[in-house]
Amino acid sequence: MVNMTMAIPDELHSKMRKHAEIKWVEVARQTFREKINILEAEKESLIAYAYKRLVEEGDGEARIKKGLNA
């Protein structure tokens, strides 16, 4: 596992300290996971859309196969 250091505003840190029962590192990990999942889903959606457009344009199948074999 990799360690990571973050800078946060003093005001936010003060508020976080009032909730010592919360494992803030777990909150950060979960937030990172959620953001990565969103980004990956968006990328997959864009790729699917691009393939669909290529196929609709007629010569898409050949262009897709060429891209997959590159």
Burial 38-69 (b: 16+ CB within 10 A, else e): eeeeeeeeeeeeeeeebeeeeeeeeeeeeeee
33-53, pLDDT tens digit by residue? Answer: 999 999 999 998 888 887 787
Rounded distance, CA 66 to CA 1, Å?
38
pTM for the whole thing?
Answer: 0.64
70 has pLDDT over 60: no
21-35, pLDDT tens digit by residue? Answer: 999 999 999 999 999
Rounded distance, CA 42 to CA 34, Å?
12
Top-confidence residue, 11 or 70: 11
Task: State whether residue 70 is helix, strand or coil.
Answer: coil
Residue extents of the structural domains in the chain: 46-70
